[in-house]
Structure 1
Amino acid sequence: MARKMLIKALPESWGGHIQQAGNGVEALAQCRENKPDVVFLDLTMPEMDGFQVLETLKDEGIAPAIFVVSADIQPIAQERVLSLGAKAFVRKPVKSDELQAALKAQGLL
């Protein structure tokens, strides 16, 4: 459900190919295989959380523009994801205008 809401929040002009992963292990595998330009990553996922995915991507030199999408709004969590290379932190539930502002801030819109 959260992934569907995120996809709906993307601008209509978003022209990229969208792939979804059901957990952190799948997300990491897709990043390794497909080398995406943009990744929207939740922190709370089964098998491997978002922090672990971020750390692994950083260690492996895979550097898409990562936007962490999470309900965990603790400042320490936000600081940690940014230190691991995330471009922005977007709060759940995702609001279209906030997501678009984050994408614009990174030159992706």
Structure 2
Amino acid sequence: MTKFSVLVCDDSAVARKQVIRCLNDCIAADIRQAATGVEALALLAQQHFDLVCLDLTMPELDGVQVLEHIKATKKECFVLIISADVQQQMQQRVLQLGAINFIEKPLSKMSLRHTLHKFGIY
């Protein structure tokens, strides 16, 4: 059986490390990192990911644009938004684009575990 694959995309190395730490506590996964939306799209073109953990506020290509690309190219993966941008309008937009959930930064292990469990990921 292949390991569950996860892409963590955030322009903050600290935030990526925190998300990875929480993921490792919740599931056994092969985790890759992207520091930009452009880097995330390049990795998504190269390999399949079961879950993409995505920040919204990034330079060049933001999380919404990455999510729009995932939807437009019909990539089959769960997308979880982890962001400090907690505007209700933004949350509704990403959920309409197909994100499974919106979790506010800083990520808590409990909220991550709840979301993963809700969608049968662990």
Tell me, yes or no, if the aligned pair for 2:37 and 2:61 is still in contact at 8 Å: yes
- 2:21 aligns with 8
CA deviations 1:3-58 (Å, max 9, x no partner) are: 00111112535211000001000011111211101110000112100000011111
More off after superposition, 65-74 vs 4-13: 4-13
Alignment RMSD: 1.1
Q: State the aligned residue count.
A: 109
Q: 2 CA distance for matches of 1:31 and 1:77?
A: 23
Question: What is the correspondence of 1:53-68 to structure 2 with a 5 Å cutoff?
Answer: 53-68=66-81
- 1:81 aligns with 94
- CA 1:97 to 1:13, structure 2 compared with 1: closer, same or farther past 3 Å? closer
Does residue 92 of the first structure (1) align with residue 97 of the second (2)?
A: no
TM-score after normalising by structure 1: 0.95
SS of alignment partner, residue 20 of structure 1 = strand
What percent of counterpart residues are identical? 43
Tell me, yes or no, if the aligned pair for 2:52 and 2:77 is still in contact at 8 Å: yes
Equivalent residue letter for 1:68? I
What is the CA distance between 1:90 and its match in structure 2?
0.9
Q: 2 CA distance for matches of 1:14 and 1:73?
A: 26
Q: 2 CA distance for matches of 1:27 and 1:63?
A: 15
- 1:104 aligns with 117
- 1:33 aligns with 46
What is the CA distance between 1:63 and its match in structure 2?
2.4
Unaligned runs of 5+ in 1: none
Runs of 4+ in 1 over 4 A off after TM superposition: none
SS of alignment partner, residue 34 of structure 2 = coil
TM-score after normalising by structure 2: 0.85
